[in-house]
Amino acid sequence: MRNMDDFPAGEGLNEPVDYRFRKMSAQDLADVLAIERKTYEFPWSETIFKDCLRVNYHCYVIESVQQVMGYAVMTVAAGESHILNICVDESLRGSGIGRSMLAHLVDRARSHRAEMMLLEVRASNTVAIDLYLNSDFNEIGRRNAYYPAKNGREDALILARIL
């Protein structure tokens, strides 16, 4: 029997892959940090992830055969959910795992009675923006010079959806 944090295996993937969601633990940090550092030019530090775990943010990994394929960090408070980080290993991008992770976060936020979900995304991250817009998010604002970038700072789009 699957636990409540599991998501239907292989949904949306080109090839059937058995995977599940589970809460992130400190033992996952080496795998999470490896993905984070390969993905982002300005990655989160180990301390940031440890702090997220320490304060009981909603931290999840998606794994297959004991291999971490991606992760997500979210807060839920006062009727709002805020996605702080969502990432899929680069070798698995385009396979539907990101969409499944997002659906999992929506489900978890709803189960904690959140009515709205928010996130920031780099204005240049068109793949992520397309995923969010195709998942019922709408642009509600912009944070100027929000993210560090090679040549200064980059704007963030603020996206939201009603749950």
- Which residues are catalytic, by number? 120, 132
For the chain, how big is the Rg over CA atoms in Å? 15
Which residues does 121 contact at the CB level (< 8 Å), separation at least 6? 128, 129, 132, 156, 157, 159
Task: State which amino acid sits at residue 56.
Answer: N
Q: For the chain, what's the residue count? A: 163
CA distance 35 to 46: 12
